[in-house]
Chain A
């Protein structure tokens, strides 16, 4: 892979006194699938729109394949884009929608027809040339929009929350389809989403954004397992916060509800009897003892929620209430509310996060 196929440097966008993107830098290799993940208003869509050319950066540069495209018009950038609202041209049939970019580029009719047929085969809708967008389901329309975006062989593919308007099942199948097509074509793709599951499941790398800045950039498993900040840890997946008291800073020992535990790490400035917050993922907690778990805590079951394949149990440890996930084992009965329960975990799975 060539490094720095897409490179963004000092990218800033200001509307009046409101800076929505704050000096963002990142670089990605050719063929990577990148997700910009974050809550509404974090600046992810603005970055995508600046890459597309629909917004002009207040500062910074964007280069693609060594070419500075910061000041180019959208129609000069040779990019493909899929929109949340499909944005198929209602007056054109599927064939003409997919062939639109090729027609604009002056590709001869026969060549265009062949490419459209090839695209329809790729998205699993062969023979749909004559259909109109209103005759198709949302999932089919979005697949046509994807075909339209990649038909002119763009340098990069931009996906602006393309699955948000679809219902849950279609969303999952279409995201897998998008990833398969992206891998097949090897096209560099930037995908904007607020859905962490979507971002983690199909990306090579994820950029987690908050309030116009990058909180963390990394592979999905790093983002989830080694969150760099408290924001990343809470935004990506479920997280338990535990209020602890530091009882022995030298040996990294803290207590939760009077029960001691040794931590893998402690902040350098942690003092004796100081209050601190530990975080732990629900799935690393186990009911009862388990091999490899070196910490055991005792608490009371506060609540039990049935989630299908998983049962979420909320356990009160003094003032702390933590959630733990356990598989739904049909041969055993889940814990009951008010029951006393032992919870174990591996101290290496505890996260000490910067705020």
Chain B
């Protein structure tokens, strides 16, 4: 038994070091901006850069809209498939996996071809149009995660009986989704939201090719031109992403509890 645990620890530490060593090295390097001793100068430099604030703010905004659009599309879709069209589920599983298989570059070239300024729907003809296009692109990129998070959330509640209980009480479909279904899967929806946020914050390809001032292209630009700031930015990005992941765990504790007691 003890023997087994020893080797388990060895394997765990090896695995953990694979992730931790580069991170520690990056962090250590990010502190070396001032020659001779450690300082947070590179972080100060990053935070004081107006481009950092502008691009980060832009990406946060696009991230929020991507989350909202994703919820409006995915929650009713999963709800109706579970309730009325269960035979569609395998197709949904397949289609929502496509963004993982099709590279972002293919997606964005498709968008540019379809929605260029001389097309019927000239999304790329204006900044706002391109922002909308970018939002939809991110909704698509996050679909594999949002769909699965929402689907798992709906699996934990008896969608059909809760729907019927609300219907017989007089509620219509919009009231059922907004007042009963959504609040009961809110934790699952929020975990999908944080995953979407994590994707949007670091995404480079689509934002760059659509020429939007997002955080991803900013990271790339700094990485190509500076020495210590990219390391600081890498650490900041990690903290944001891990913070988002940590929030999913924290929210899991607030999931509505159901019970089927018989006493």
Contact = CB atoms under 8 A, between A and B. Distances in A.
B180 A83 contact: no
Contact of B161 (A75, A78, A87, A148): A87
Given A85-B158, A85-B161, A87-B161, A75 B257 contact: no
Contact of B168 (A80, A136, A137): A80
Interface in A132-165: 132-134, 136-139, 141, 145, 148-149, 152, 158, 165
Interface stretch (B67-75, B110-118, B170-178): B170-178
Contacts of B167: 53-54, 73-75
Given A89-B184, A104-B171, A104-B175, A83 B165 contact: yes
Contacts, number: 96
B83 to A, nearest CB: 11
Contacts of A158: 168
B4 interface: no
B245 interface: no
Contacts of A90: 157, 184, 256-258
A134 B259 contact: yes
Nearest to A73: B167
Contacts of B175: 104
Given A87-B158, A87-B161, A138-B260, A81 B184 contact: no
Nearest to A52: B168
A123 interface: no
Contacts of B183: 91
Interface in A111-140: 132-134, 136-139
A346 interface: no
Q: Which of B167, B169, B261 has the most CB of A within 10 A?
A: B169
- Residue from B168, B261, B263 whose CB has the most chain A CB atoms within 10 Å: B168
A151 to B, nearest CB: 9
A89 to B, nearest CB: 5
Contacts of B180: 89, 91
A235 interface: no
Interface residues of B, number: 26
Contact of A137 (B164, B169, B186, B263): B263
B166 interface: yes
B262 A91 contact: no
A152 B158 contact: no
Contacts of B172: 75
Contacts of B85: none
A349 B96 CA distance: 68
A53 B258 CA distance: 26
A105 interface: yes
Contact of B257 (A79, A83, A134): A134
Given A90-B256, A91-B183, A91-B184, A54 B164 contact: yes
A101 interface: yes
Interface of A: 52-54, 73-75, 77-81, 83, 85-91, 100-101, 104-105, 132-134, 136-139, 141, 145, 148-149, 152, 158, 165-167, 170
Interface of B: 157-158, 161-162, 164-172, 175, 180, 183-184, 186, 256-263
30 contacts: A52-B168, A54-B167, A73-B167, A75-B169, A75-B170, A75-B171, A80-B168, A81-B164, A81-B168, A83-B161, A85-B158, A85-B161, A87-B162, A89-B165, A89-B180, A90-B157, A91-B183, A100-B169, A104-B169, A104-B171, A134-B258, A134-B259, A138-B262, A138-B263, A139-B263, A152-B170, A158-B168, A167-B262, A170-B262, A170-B263
